[in-house]
Amino acid sequence: MSRPLRKLLDKAGMAVCVLLLVSPALLFFLWMLSLSLKFEIDNGAYPPILIPDRFAWKNYTTIFEGNSFLLYFWNSLIVTGAATLFALVVGVPAGYGIARMKAHKSAVVIMIARMTPGLSFLIPLFLLFQWLGLLGTLWPQIIIHLVVTVPIVIWIMIGYFETTPMELEEAAMVDGATRWQIFAKVALPIAKPGIVVAFILSVIFSWNNFVFGIVLASRETRTLPVAVYNMLSFEQVSWGPLAAAALVVTLPVLILTVAAQRQIVAGLTAGAVKGG
């Protein structure tokens, strides 16, 4: 066989391999999109239809009409935003402190926290929130999401600050800068990529969290994953709007994943964290 032909065949074989690898994910999300854009008749058709003759755009408008979906979207935004911001405020300095003190053993607590099932945090905190009279507000969810976001941020930031060079900081120290000045002016700017990774992962895992919401959320304080789940269980909803709602909930995350795949991969393989 001639060399160019062989090379071409190799390339083609590789392409088929890769296509095979990506297809479970690709086909699934395509099917999700297809379900969300079909009328009930087409969704019940046999054999199934991938691309319908007419698109049911109304599936998307109905979910925003009847189900306080905008309120739930807003709730999700508040809970994820607050829990992530707070985690960054306390977690980035903590990661810096732990890395500089070389107190690696303290990271064990963070690791065990990651191993602990979310439900075992839920029972005591649920009782605490009940006792404090916070149920019915968004506070319980914001606070309990810290269980997810704070360990992610600390974990990633420890790893990041350990790799940043000490020379600049030592030079600043010789010049008489205080610890906080060094942190704010020298260490923090260098750590920006690490902060971005921590931010993205914290946002995704908080946004996706479901288990805290089903226990702590009332009718007005549901986050999106809980709202979508409730659509399934309590209302006679047809597949189209349900798939549309599911897609709307996860779309921000999917866009973030494709746009920031480099940072996500870096963060996941560095600490291999997962929330919840």
Q: Find the binding residues for another protein in span 85-124 (CB under 8 A).
A: 86, 89-91, 93-94, 96-98, 100-106, 108-110, 112-124
Contact track, another protein, 118-157, x by CB under 8 A: xxxxxxxxxxx--------------xx-xx--xx--x---
CA-angle at 261, arms to 20 and 188, nearest 5°: 160
Contact 128, 63 (CB under 8 A): no
Token pair, residue 168, equals 């600049």
> Under DSSP, is residue 121 helix (H, G, I), strand (E, B) or coil?
helix
* Nearer Cβ to another protein (8/17): 17
Closest approach, Cβ 224 to another protein, in A, equals 8
Sole binder of another protein in the list 84, 208, 221, 263 (CB under 8 A)? 208
Residues 212-231 that bind another protein (CB under 8 A): 214-215, 224-226, 228-229
CB of 74 or CB of 239, closer to another protein: 239
The region of 59-67, 131-139, 189-197, 240-248 touching another protein under the rule CB under 8 A is 240-248
Q: Give the footprint of another protein on residues 159-198 (CB under 8 A).
A: 170, 173, 179, 183
Rounded Cα distance, 232 and 104, in Å: 45
| Least distance from another protein to the Cβ atom of residue 54, Å | 19
Query: Could you tell me which stretch among 63-71, 131-139, 188-196, 243-251 binds another protein (CB under 8 A)?
Result: 243-251
Q: Which of the ranges 17-25, 58-66, 67-75, 188-196 carries the binding residues for another protein, by CB under 8 A?
A: 17-25
Tokens of 35: 């379900």
Q: Which is nearer to another protein, 22 or 70 (CB)?
A: 22
Residue placing its CB nearer to another protein in the complex, 168 or 264: 264
Count the residues of the shown chain that bind another protein, applying the rule CB under 8 A: 100
CA–CA gap between residue 151 and residue 112 (Å, rounded) = 10
Query: Any idea which residue has 């925003």 for tokens?
Result: 64
In a 3-state reduction of DSSP, which class is residue 137? Answer: strand
Calculate the alpha carbon distances from 78 to 73, 98, 148, 199 in Å. 9, 29, 15, 15
3-class SS of residue 222: coil
Q: Which of residues 25-84 bind another protein (CB under 8 A)?
A: 25-26, 28-29, 31-32, 35, 43-44, 46-48
Give whole-number Cα distances, 22 to 18, 26, 48, 65, 235, in Å.
6, 6, 22, 35, 34
The letter for the amino acid at 105 is K
Place of tokens 């439900």: 119
Considering the complex, what minimum distance in angstroms separates the CB of residue 26 from another protein?
A: 6
Identity of the residue, 164 or 257, whose beta carbon is nearer to another protein in the bound complex: 257
Q: Return the half-sphere exposure (C-beta side, CA atoms, 13 A cut-off) of residue 174.
A: 6
Question: In terms of CB distance, is 138 or 204 closer to another protein?
Answer: 204
Torsion angle, CA of 51/52/53/57, rounded to 10 degrees?
Answer: -110
